[in-house]
Structure 1
């Protein structure tokens, strides 16, 4: 892992674990998911709202329950402090036909509130692409 990637994972974990909303509502936010950013993949594992592990560019045998896939350009727009129209959430970005939701979408929906909060933290730390 590069120094920049290691720094990003540390910052993302710290901002997530200190987030008041995730601390209040994350009791059952336990899942693992993949953010596919075209040139970089990030596997995020959470337990009770806290990030247990962040793996950059996981191998093919790494397990995750669902994946959110989009181009690096879409992730860069999504992570801006004020995203452009149609990049402000996963549903809007999926309507652009660039973002795809795959895997066990029931788990995604069961954790949607906390997942949305967690993804919005990308607007503070940015994305590693």
Structure 2
């Protein structure tokens, strides 16, 4: 008999993600101007991640539509985010561009802000391989 593993709580995931991002050498090296707020939408759960000068300063868990403003959204199914959260993601789950071309990921909102911060956002998504899926 196997025991089902349970994902950490949303708050625990948010804290782990903030810690991983704030201590990541690559983000800190590139993130001087990495300032934005974005929605990471995993269908079952959503997070607004607020970043100032390369540091995560807040993460709102399951905010209402008008609770916390954000500039752009990265939306995908819970299963897609689970695939991103594996140590070695399968093809097409290794980056946001591949997932938008072949999977169910969508980029919405002020895409210019996403592009201006692309290297750091990409690195934050790569950190899911360490902290796990947000759902």
* TM-score > 0.5, shorter chain as reference: yes
Partner of 1:80: 86
Deviations 1:59-79 (A, max 9, x none): 111210000000000010111
Partner of 1:52: 57
Aligned residue among 116, 121, 134 for 1:115: 121
Structure 1: gaps spanning 5 or more residues: none
Matched, 1:63 2:69: yes
Q: Structure 2 CA distance, aligned partners of 1:93 and 1:19?
A: 24
How many Å apart are 1:113 and its aligned residue? Answer: 0.4
Q: Give the TM-score of the pair, scaled to structure 2.
A: 0.90
Tell me the SS of whatever aligns to 1:73: helix
How many Å apart are 1:128 and its aligned residue? Answer: 2.7
User: Moved runs in structure 1, 4+ residues, more than 6 A?
Assistant: none
Q: Structure 2 CA distance, aligned partners of 1:4 and 1:30?
A: 26
In the alignment of these two chains, the number of paired residues is: 127
**Would you say the 8 A contact 2:27–2:123 is kept in 1?**
yes
Partner of 1:16: 21
Q: Give the TM-score of the pair, scaled to structure 1.
A: 0.95
Partner of 1:106: 112
